[in-house]
Amino acid sequence: MTHPDREISKNVTVQQNVGLKPYNTLGIDAVANSFIEVTDQDTLGKLYKEGFFSDQKFPIILGGGSNVLLKGDPKSPVLKISIPGIRVTDESDHFVRIEAGAGVNWHELVTWAVERNFGGIENLALIPGTTGAAPIQNIGAYGVELSDTFESLRAFLPESGEFNTFYYTDCEFGYRDSIFKRELKGKAIITGIVLKLRKSPHRINDSYYALKNHFNEAGVSRPVIRDVYDAVVSIRRSKLPDPSVLGNAGSFFKNPVVDKSFFETLEKRYPEMPSFPAGDGLIKIPAGWLIEQAGWKGKRIGNVGTYRNQALVIVNHGDATGEEIFGHAIRIQKSVQQKFDIELVPEVNILE
CA dist 96 and 190 (Å) reads 22
CA dist 187 and 89 (Å) reads 27
Which span sits near ligand FAD by CB under 6 A: 46-54, 55-63, 107-115, 321-329?
Answer: 55-63
User: In the stretch 141-180, what mask flags binding to ligand FAD with x, by CB under 6 A?
Assistant: x---------------------------------------
Cβ-based neighbour number of residue 335 at 10 Å? 17
Binder of ligand EPU out of 147, 297, 305, 328 (CB under 6 A): 297
Q: Which is nearer to ligand EPU, 70 or 141 (CB)?
A: 141
Q: Which is nearer to ligand EPU, 96 or 127 (CB)?
A: 127
Of residues 234 through 273, those in contact with ligand EPU by CB under 6 A are: 239, 250-251, 254-255
- Could you tell me which residues come within 8 angstroms of residue 1 by beta carbon, excluding any fewer than 6 positions away? none
Confirm if 325 and 316 have CB atoms less than 8 A apart: yes
| Nearest C-alpha neighbor of 252 from the set 325, 336, 182, 318 | 325
β-bridge mates for residue 258, sequence order = 283
Please, what is the minimum distance in Å from the beta carbon of residue 80 to ligand FAD?
8
- Total interface residues for ligand FAD by CB under 6 A: 31
CA dist 210 and 14 (Å) reads 46
Q: Which is nearer to ligand EPU, 138 or 152 (CB)?
A: 138
Q: Look at residue 190 and give the partner it binds from ligand FAD, ligand EPU, none, a contact being a CB closer than 5 to 8 Å depending on partner kind.
A: ligand FAD
Q: Choose, from 37, 99, 145, 347, the residue flagged as catalytic.
A: 347
Binder of ligand EPU out of 132, 135, 288, 322 (CB under 6 A): 288
User: In the stretch 215-254, what mask flags binding to ligand FAD with x, by CB under 6 A?
Assistant: -------------------------x--x----xxx----
H helix runs in 128-208, sequence order = 168-171
User: Is 50 assigned a catalytic role?
Assistant: no
Write the DSSP assignment of 260-302 as a string of letters: HHHHHHHHHH-TT---EE-STTEEE--HHHHHHHTT-TT-EET
User: Is 251 assigned a catalytic role?
Assistant: yes
User: Is 347 assigned a catalytic role?
Assistant: yes
289 counts as binding ligand EPU under rule CB under 6 A = yes
CA dist 170 and 136 (Å) reads 13
- Could you tell me which residues come within 8 angstroms of residue 292 by beta carbon, excluding any fewer than 6 positions away? 311
61 counts as binding ligand FAD under rule CB under 6 A = yes
Question: Applying CB under 6 A, which residues contact ligand EPU?
Answer: 141-142, 210, 239, 250-251, 254-255, 274, 286, 288-289, 292, 297, 310-312, 347
Residue positions annotated with a catalytic role: 176, 251, 347
